[in-house]
Structure 1
Amino acid sequence: MWHNRNVWLLLVGEFVAGLGLWLGIIGNLEFLQNHVPSDFFKSLILFTGLLAGVAVGPLAGRVIDSTKKKTVLLYSGFARMLSVVFMLLALKYSSVLWMVCFMVAIQISAAFYFPALQAAIPLIVTEKDLLTMNGIHMNVATIARILGTALGGALLVVMNLYSLYIGSMVAYALLFVSTFFLMIQEETSQHKSKQHSKESFKDIIPVLKQTPIVKIALILMIVPYLFIGGFNLMVINISELQHDTSIKGLLYAAEGICFMIGAFIVKRISVNKDLLKLMYSFTITIALAHLSLYFAYIKIASVVSFSLFGLAVGCFFPIVATIFQTKVSKDFHGRFFSFKNMLDRVMFQIVLLGTGLLLDTIGLQWMVVVFGGISLALVFYFIVKNKKGQSDYVSRPNTIA
């Protein structure tokens, strides 16, 4: 795998683009803080971009399945680079409207780019290397997130927002150039266009029915999202609970480091193992990590909880990604990953709103009991179903060598 030029291009491109993405996010937050006093309107602006990304999801799926993946990556990468121009106009005219245009444009381009990237990975590496590739890819994205946020915060001290967004645009430009050098072997776009001309986005529904393990994996992704969706709000509440502002950085660092460890070791611990059973195990671990935050008023307990979550989710996501890439036919990858992308965005917002509501009404300790209980109930429901043989969830053993 490491002798594959495409792998290096993909990872280096992901790292550079990740830096640009998080530089832009830091800039977005700074702009909103300076120009939008209302938290509600801030959330509306962010939600507008999310809604645009969800709206174009079905179209993105059909385009990805009927076009060469490299072509979609190039066009969406170019669009993401150009979208920064809207933000430069927003800065020049101090206009929130231009920022809304930026959010819509960048989310639409992302709705095409990320599903196409997930569909391209199985075309770049062999099936036996997929789990390793997914883990490393997620680690690179995590490192880019950590360095990007740190760099963005530091740069704001010494330069203005213009420079920050120019840096973001340069990163996207480098990704765009590196995409040209990808060599992806797939059918010609003309043949694929004819093959998929009569197919629609709804065709993904029977595919899910025919591959129960994929349906289970999609549903079980609710468990980590119950934690991730309220991540920042929980960190703030734990800091207030312990009367210690320094705990924020410690929790972020513990989770991030353990996530990278999990994504690094997942291949070794998964050798000749049933992917479904591993997914159940790590999902239960995530639920237990959530429940253990009942003791969040104890400093070491909260750090252990976040570390346990990071380790488990670092193993969970590469396994789930590998299941999706191997169990769903490549002919449906574009539509499937677009569908998954839409679910992720909607789920994240619902969990975020639910977390805020429960924190205001019942507090952190009982909220984690509710979310943890829901997570465990969900996992054990599928486990019991499998053992009783009431549903054919797995058609054959899912092992990796």
Structure 2
Amino acid sequence: MWKNKNVWILLTGEFIAGLGLWLGIIGNLEFMQEKVPSDFLKSLILAGGLLAGIAVGPWAGRITDQISKKTVMLASGFARALSVVFMLVAIQTGSVWWMVIFLVFLQISAAFYFPALQAAIPLVVEDKDLLQLNGIHMNVSTLSRILGTALAGVLLVILPLSMLYIASLVAYLILFIITFFMDFEDSVSKESTGRNSSRGGGGFKEVFSIIQGLPIVFMTLVLTLVPLLFLGGFNLMVINISELQDSSSIKGLIYTAEGLGFMLGAFIVKHVSQKRSPYAILFFFSFIIGLSQLLLYFADVPVLSILAFFIFGFAVGCFFPTAATIFQTRVPKEFHGRFFSFRNMLDRVTFQIVLLLTGFLLDAVGLQIMVVIFGILSLVMTAAFFAKFRQIIRTEGQINEKIST
């Protein structure tokens, strides 16, 4: 795997793009703290971009299945770089509306880029290397997040806010350039006629039938709602904890702790998967995510708030590579573009709902009551999904027993 130049391009591109992404995210938080007083209004602004990404999701899936994944990644990468210009205008004019336009363009480009990236990964390496590559890819992303947030904190002290976005723009342009050097066999997109091509234009209906016929894929999709319940309001919670503790430095410590936890989890998950089934991993760490949310009841205590985010990071570091590998290996490759686009849309809808709910609850009941509500909900969802999974396994066992007799 390490002799494959595409692997190195993917990892290098992810690191560079991640730096740019997190420079921009920290810049967004800083801009909104200055211009937008309400947590709920902050959530509405962030949700506006997500809504645009959801709207183009079905089209993005069809395009990804019909043409080269590399072409989709190049076009969306260029659009992402172009979107930064709107944020520079927002800073110059002090207008939140220009920031909304920036977020809309950014999320539309992401709606194309990430399904194409997820569909390209199984084309770059063999199935046996997928879990390892998914873990390493997510670790590189997390490392870039840690360094990006740390770099953003330093730049905010010594340079104007606009410099964060200029650095972000440079990173996106570098990603665009190195993507040109990717070279892999994209057999589905080359078949402009025939069965696979007709499937490529079929939309989401065929994807739904595939999901229904693969219980492990369906259950994994549903179970990913648990970490999204935490991730949806992640940035708003970080801002609120910073205000609760009256400390601006706690933001960087929280991002770093969560990132280190994620990297550790993604590193050991390959070894855990050799002893435990994918579902055992998903259910166990879904339960841990719920506990980490409950621990944030003590968000006014710096050590405990940092510990909660570290535990969460470790749990999702084991959860997400396992889920990604299940999707990449169980879903037929000719459906990958539409499937990952559908998953991206599902994540964005959930993310948007959680984001708005987080903003509302932070204004209405405060952080500590909100995390108790979310923590209990996560534990209940995990228990319900686990009971349903046991029922499916029991039913399949009875059917197999009848067939054998």
What TM-score comes out, normalization by structure 1 length? Answer: 0.87
Alignment length (residue pairs): 395
Return the offset for 1:148.
1.6
Query: Matched residues in 1 for 2:250 and 2:33: separation?
Result: 24
Query: Matched residues in 2 for 1:360 and 1:99: separation?
Result: 23
2:403 equivalent in structure 1: none
Mapped pair 1:304 → 2:307: yes
Return the offset for 1:356.
3.7
1:172 equivalent in structure 2: 172
Return the offset for 1:55.
0.4
Could you tell me which of 324, 331, 335 is aligned with 2:334? 331
2:202 equivalent in structure 1: 199
Do 2:289 and 2:311's aligned partners in 1 also have CA atoms closer than 8 Å?
A: yes
Deviations 1:304-340 (A, max 9, x none): 3332222111101111111111111111111111111
Q: How does 1:141-220 map to 2 (within 5 A)?
A: 141-187=141-187, 189=189, 191-192=191-192, 194-196=197-199, 198-220=201-223
Could you tell me which of 270, 287, 290 is aligned with 1:287? 290
Query: Matched residues in 2 for 1:143 and 1:166: separation?
Result: 21
What TM-score comes out, normalization by structure 2 length? Answer: 0.87
Query: Matched residues in 1 for 2:281 and 2:137: separation?
Result: 20
Deviates more, 1:65-74 or 1:191-200: 191-200
1:13 equivalent in structure 2: 13
Do 2:292 and 2:309's aligned partners in 1 also have CA atoms closer than 8 Å?
A: yes
- Distance of aligned partners of 1:243 and 1:28 in 2 relative to their CA distance in 1, 3 Å threshold: closer
Query: Matched residues in 2 for 1:100 and 1:93: separation?
Result: 13
Q: Which amino acid aligns with 2:386?
A: I
Return the offset for 1:237.
5.3
Percent identity of equivalent pairs: 60
Deviates more, 1:326-335 or 1:354-363: 354-363
Q: Which amino acid aligns with 1:218?
A: L
- Distance of aligned partners of 1:15 and 1:104 in 2 relative to their CA distance in 1, 3 Å threshold: same
Query: Matched residues in 1 for 2:39 and 2:305: separation?
Result: 28
- Distance of aligned partners of 1:253 and 1:89 in 2 relative to their CA distance in 1, 3 Å threshold: closer
1:77 equivalent in structure 2: 77
Return the offset for 1:50.
1.4
- Distance of aligned partners of 1:165 and 1:239 in 2 relative to their CA distance in 1, 3 Å threshold: closer
- Distance of aligned partners of 1:197 and 1:347 in 2 relative to their CA distance in 1, 3 Å threshold: closer
Do 1:294 and 1:365's aligned partners in 2 also have CA atoms closer than 8 Å?
A: yes
1:134 equivalent in structure 2: 134
Q: How does 1:1-400 map to 2 (within 5 A)?
A: 1-32=1-32, 42-91=42-91, 96-187=96-187, 189=189, 191-192=191-192, 194-196=197-199, 198-235=201-238, 248-296=251-299, 300-389=303-392, 392=396
Do 1:24 and 1:164's aligned partners in 2 also have CA atoms closer than 8 Å?
A: yes
Deviations 1:177-231 (A, max 9, x none): 1111111112263524643365112321111101111111111112112222233
Do 2:111 and 2:344's aligned partners in 1 also have CA atoms closer than 8 Å?
A: yes
Do 1:385 and 1:391's aligned partners in 2 also have CA atoms closer than 8 Å?
A: no
Do 1:68 and 1:187's aligned partners in 2 also have CA atoms closer than 8 Å?
A: no
- Distance of aligned partners of 1:243 and 1:223 in 2 relative to their CA distance in 1, 3 Å threshold: same
Deviations 1:339-391 (A, max 9, x none): 11112122122223323444455554443333222222222223323334465
Query: Matched residues in 2 for 1:236 and 1:271: separation?
Result: 39
- Distance of aligned partners of 1:294 and 1:7 in 2 relative to their CA distance in 1, 3 Å threshold: same
Return the offset for 1:35.
5.7
